[in-house]
Amino acid sequence: MQEADRRTQWALLRFSVLGPLVSSRLEHGDRRALFRLAAQRTHVDPDGRAVKLSARTVEAWFYAWRRGGLDALKDAVAMVYYFITHPAKK
């Protein structure tokens, strides 16, 4: 897989995690609750691994998206705060 495709896959994962954060108009406190909610879920990364994210990571991705859209999510500092929980079931 080419690097550009890989970066796009990661950007799409990040965008999918943001879900309701990008689709509605929210107050600051509402955003914080959604950051925490997204962090409670297990997500599957482009390599098929199940991952957990911190609320801070989700927040960083949200503000990156607000500044630069999907392209900003291609280069978001990604996985400083996540840890691999187990391989995802296919």
Mean pLDDT of 12-29: 87
The structure's pTM equals 0.78
User: Is the Cα dihedral 80, 83, 87, 90 positive or negative?
Assistant: negative
pLDDT at 89: 53
pLDDT at 77: 61
24-35 pLDDT tens trace: 888 778 889 999
**Which alpha helices (DSSP H) does 1-90 contain, by range?**
3-23, 28-40, 55-74
What tokens appear for 70 in the block? 């999907």
34-90 pLDDT tens trace: 999 999 999 998 889 888 899 999 999 999 999 999 999 987 765 444 444 444 455
Q: Which residue has the tokens 């391989």?
A: 87
Amino acid at 20: P
